[in-house]
Amino acid sequence: MEFKQEDAVKLTEWYEKNHRDLPWRDTGDPYHVWISEIMLQQTRIEAVIVKYQIFVHELPDIASLAAVQDDRLMRLWEGLGYYSRARNLKKCAQVLVKDYGGKLPENYEELVRLPGIGPYTAGAVASIAYGKPVPAVDGNVLRILARLFLTESDIKDPHTKDALQETLTPAYASEQIRAGAFNQGLMELGQLICVPNGAPRCTECPLAESCLAYRENRTGDIPFRSKPNKRKCEERTLVIVRDEKRFVIRKRDDAGLLAGLYEFPGIGKHCDPQELRTMLALYIPEIQRLHRLPDAKHIFSHIEWHMQAYEVLVDDIRSLSLPENCIALTKEEMASAAIPSAFRTYIDYYRLRSY
């Protein structure tokens, strides 16, 4: 079971003729490859394009990324989710400045040892930025290979992934293949043709003649992926305290879900108005109005938040005794705060966005 060199040539030629014009492609800058690949992990390409352009405009190189303030970094990353990726980017940039002269190494083995850079990203940077003949295997590539070789075992199993990745080794031996173009061809094929949802566009695929799943009409059940664990549902009550000019927001702990980001203060259960008034009495002796806002739900990979929210209107936030991790910001200041998209319903409700 191996990827034929003639198929690798077909795929590379298909990519060079049909690939999309994306802002991080063909820039010749390893930094751009790295940032884009981290952003694209578990995030739609349409959502990444604008965020990537803003990010590299404000942080054009590794040195500026290493030095950026955490709050600003989180604000730049807002909307992409999985915020630990941004924290690892900065951590990695600091290592690169300290130990590598502010540059990404060319060698796969060195890349994969850096913070936040796993085998896929190391392979992408090494092959696309430096032309190294190493694979970059993500979910898109696994799906293609599983269909190509009619692999029925669970592609979430590490042994299955290793076996499928090994099939690529002969492809890199061909002198006709540029590793970066070949790897990007696999990625592009998985995003445009051999798609994860809906019917694959097999008649447009350069590998159709070799694809066993296509030949046996089994693209609908290949690849096999075991079901994920059921997400845990958590109830939350958000308390949006404001006066005519300011809102209260709270900084989350430096570890755990949405670490270091800002949020509207909340309680880990659903509350009725009287219960909420009792809990708030310690901090807010006089409430002008308590008003129920629309409910919201946010889905993380392993948790669902089922949120209800109350607007708590006060005369002047500056007169309140707020907890140490809470601050009061104007509407204009809120537009620049790193508030995750989990709270988008309420961000949009108050129009707390600058872009």
Which residues are tagged catalytic? 37
Q: Beta-carbon neighbour count of residue 272 at 10 Å?
A: 11
**What whole-number distance in Å separates Cα of residue 205 and Cα of residue 97?**
43
How many residues would you count in the chain?
A: 355
Closest CA to 314 of 246, 262, 264: 246
Instruction: Tell me the one-letter amino acid at 317.
Output: I
Give the pairing type, strands 246-251 and 326-330.
Answer: antiparallel
Give CA–CA dist 56/27, Å, rounded. Answer: 12
Task: Give the position of tokens 């979430």.
Answer: 156
Tell me which H or E stretch contains 97: helix 84-99
Q: For the CA atoms of the chain, what is the radius of gyration?
A: 24
Nearest to 4 by CA among 213, 210, 219: 210
